[in-house]
Amino acid sequence: MPERFASIGVVGSANADVIVHCHTLPRPGETILGGELLLVPGGKGANQACAAAALGGSVEFIGAVGNDGNGQLLRDSFAKHEVGTSYLHLSSQPTGTALIAVEDSGENLIVVAPGANNDVSLDGINWNKFDVVIAQMEIKPEVVLAAAQSAKKFILNAAPISDVSDDLLRECDVLIVNETEAQSINLNRVPYSVVTYGKNGAACFEYGTEIVRAAAPRVEAIDTVGAGDTFVAAFAVRFALGESPADCLHYAVVAGALATLNPGAQGAPPNHEEVRQWLQPA
Ligand code: RIB
């Protein structure tokens, strides 16, 4: 029997990523020389939408881009990954831009100019069509809260970390954060929270109590930008299909690790078959 589709709505940011690789990230006040400049589609929301589609989800992106070349870069990526854009708003502001430096170890630094991401609108959305809605914190918090209140099931990726209100936490079915972000959020308030530890895998908590931990497969990472977004997308797709948090977690750590094997946040997210092969016992 063919696997049923997970219908996912992603409410979030779409950025043009301006990336330069360097040996070591600069310290405050330092100027350094880096390598070649890359301009690629990114943004936590757009990355998660493309990754969820690559993993077999039926995905709509709810966001905004400007009427400019970078907006077209994002539209081309959505088309390539077969992400629906019926709710993609055209803003009078420039497309969001992320300035990214990546050092040889894979560690990165990101500063985002939100631009059009401040214009995301939820007008006219048919929330019933989504099994799960995902959002992150690169758009206005009031828009994230309204999406959370409208969704049947809501997953919040609280990145970048900012004040996550009690009202918003109350709406979360799943909260996904990295270990730094986890320090400033009370995980006890959410049914399921997931904390990611980079190459050391991830753990899932039920109302603050750890219920399962998953190790990440060892891979030769070449670019970690967007790996966390693939993790979120993978967890969401399996959660939308009704899998247990433990199964979602094991699937997501593999997908996140495989995402580091290709350059660019939306370059070549892993597909379901690739993740499944890694999950098979040897
Ligand atoms: O998570 C990686 C993303 O963060 C980048 O694509 C960048 O645009 C920022 O949103």
Judge whether 264 lies within some domain: yes
- Looking at the predicted structure, is the pLDDT value of residue 123 above 70? yes
Q: How confident is the model at residue 281 (pLDDT cuts 50, 70, 90)?
A: low
Q: Which of 103, 125, 51, 135 is nearest to 221 (CA)?
A: 103
Give the pLDDT confidence score for residue 229 in this predicted structure.
97
- Ligand 1 atom 6: the closest Cα is on which residue? 42
Task: Show the tokens assigned to 211.
Answer: 């219920």
Question: What rounded mean pLDDT belongs to the chain?
Answer: 94
Question: How many folded domains does the chain comprise?
Answer: 1
Predicted local confidence at residue 106, as pLDDT: 79
What domain range includes position 234?
Answer: 6-27+36-271
pLDDT at 268 over 50: yes
Q: Is 214 a member of any domain?
A: yes
Give the residue from 179, 169, 63, 52 showing the smallest Cα distance to 120.
Answer: 63
Indicate whether 282 belongs to any domain.
no
Whether 112 lines ligand 1, by a CB cut-off of 6 Å, is yes
Identify whether 279 is part of a domain: no
**What atom of ligand 1 comes closest to residue 45's alpha carbon?**
10
CA distance 254 to 274: 9
- Asked which of 96-100, 105-109, 117-121 is least confident by mean pLDDT, the reply is 105-109
Least confident range of 122-131, 161-170, 252-261: 161-170
Q: Round to whole Å and give the CA distance between 65 and 92.
A: 9
Hey, which of 40, 134, 229, 262 would you mutate to test ligand 1's pocket, going by the most ligand atoms within 8 Å of its Cβ? 229
Q: Is 263 a residue whose pLDDT tops 90? A: no
| Residue 212: per-residue pLDDT | 97
Helices (H) and strands (E) in the chain, counts: 8, 13
Q: Taking residues 143-149, what's their average pLDDT?
A: 98
Identified catalytic residue from 119, 131, 223, 229? 229
| Probe target for ligand 1 pocket from 17, 18, 162, 232, with the most ligand atoms within 8 Å of CB | 17
Q: What is the 43 CA–ligand 1 centroid distance (Å)?
A: 4
In a domain, 11, yes or no: yes
Range in 14-18, 61-65, 113-117, 266-270 the model is least confident about: 266-270
Instruction: Decide: 155 in ligand 1 pocket, CB within 6 A.
Output: no
Task: Assess contact for 133 and 153: CB atoms under 8 A.
Answer: yes
The Cα–Cα gap between 170 and 233 comes to: 21
Lowest mean pLDDT, pick from 61-65, 152-156, 225-229: 225-229
Q: Is the pLDDT of residue 174 over 60?
A: yes
Residue 246: which residues within 8 A CB-CB, separation 6 or more?
A: 204, 211, 212, 214
What local confidence, expressed as pLDDT, does residue 139 receive?
98
229 is catalytic: yes
Token code pair at residue 57: 């989800």
Residue 44 domain-assigned (yes or no): yes
pLDDT recorded at residue 3? 59
Q: How far is CA 178 from CA 6, 93, 105, 188, 216, in A?
A: 25, 30, 18, 16, 14
Contacts of residue 187, defined as CB under 8 A and 6 or more positions apart, other chains included, come to 175, 193, 195, 205, 207, 208
**Is the CB–ligand 1 distance for residue 110 below 6 Å?**
yes
pTM: 0.96
Q: Is residue 278 part of a domain?
A: no
CA distance 249 to 34: 36
How confident is the model at residue 2, as a pLDDT?
Answer: 46
Using the predicted structure, report yes or no on whether residue 5 has a pLDDT greater than 90. no
CATH number of the domain encompassing residue 58: 3.40.1190.20
Instruction: Tell whether 107 is covered by a domain.
Output: yes
